[in-house]
Amino acid sequence: MRILVTNDDGVHADGIFALKVALEPLGEVFVVAPERPRSAAAHAITLHKPVRLSKVALRDGSDAYAISGTPADCVVLGTQAVMDGRTDLVVSGINHGPNLGWDVHYSGTVAAAKEAAMTGHPAIAISVASYGLNLDYCTAAAYASVLAKHIAQNPLPIGTVINVNVPYLPASEIAGVAVTFQGPRQYVDRFERRVDPAGRDYYWLGGTLADARSPEGSDVRAISESKISVTPLQLDATAYDMLSEMREWTPATISARSDA
């Protein structure tokens, strides 16, 4: 099995190294990742300037490829330029911090997996639900290996990716694995206004989570219950429940006069 490993935290992040080591027993692992942290890059691709690919050494001396672009760029170049179109699985992570609920739309980690799905590759995104420093990624890495093995035997439907979030706990304290849906996740106080040394305002974006109980069965709830959350995501973002209703009420004609 030929596996592409990427992330959005950068090629030298601890999480991607733990992932590479965990997946090596399953096949040939290629590490192709951004040269610097690109968290919250979502699904951006670099279209209007050059993208550089350089060979770098990881901490065990093995080769990796650092890309001057985004996580999605890494998947394009990783699968095609580095791996010559022969990739069996793409695994993105292990992200430093959770990718839960609506936050998934900001995530470079998840976007890399989605980019892989767009070209027909089975793909997993995996994150540890902690922002702590110097995390130990071994619980998440062990689960990545289990899931990768399973997907190699049981192919995913085209256009789907698996988004995994792992509580930051020793394996013995994990309360199981929950198959979940994306919960709501809302923030309050989205920015702080500050003043720079020249007396001008600037803004710092972030926010704190709204104090809402997440619904039973959601990814957010699973993490709060010390469970590994596994969510199937799909590239097709259509709100299917609305289709028939919208066909009734959507204006179907243009009434404005064309003066052109």
Q: Which residues bind Mn ion (CB under 5 A)?
A: 8-9, 39, 95
d(CA 164, CA 94): 10
Both tokens of 147, joined, read 């899931």
Residue number with CB closer to Mn ion (133 or 242): 133
Residue number with CB closer to Mn ion (9 or 73): 9
In the bound complex, what is the minimum distance in angstroms from residue 10's beta carbon to Mn ion? Answer: 9
Alpha helices in 119-196 (DSSP H): 138-153
In the bound complex, what is the minimum distance in angstroms from residue 96's beta carbon to Mn ion? Answer: 6
Residue number with CB closer to Mn ion (3 or 94): 94
Both tokens of 161, joined, read 């990716």
CA distances from 51 to 70, 110, 172 (A): 9, 21, 43
Residue number with CB closer to Mn ion (8 or 145): 8
CB atoms within 10 A of CB 189: 9
In the bound complex, what is the minimum distance in angstroms from residue 109's beta carbon to Mn ion? Answer: 6
Residue number with CB closer to Mn ion (46 or 88): 46
- Beta strands (DSSP E) in the chain are 2-6, 28-34, 53-57, 63-67, 89-96, 123-129, 160-167, 177-179, 187-188, 191-195, 201-205, 208-209, 228-234
CB closest to Mn ion, residue no:
39
In the bound complex, what is the minimum distance in angstroms from residue 248's beta carbon to Mn ion? Answer: 42
In the bound complex, what is the minimum distance in angstroms from residue 196's beta carbon to Mn ion? Answer: 27
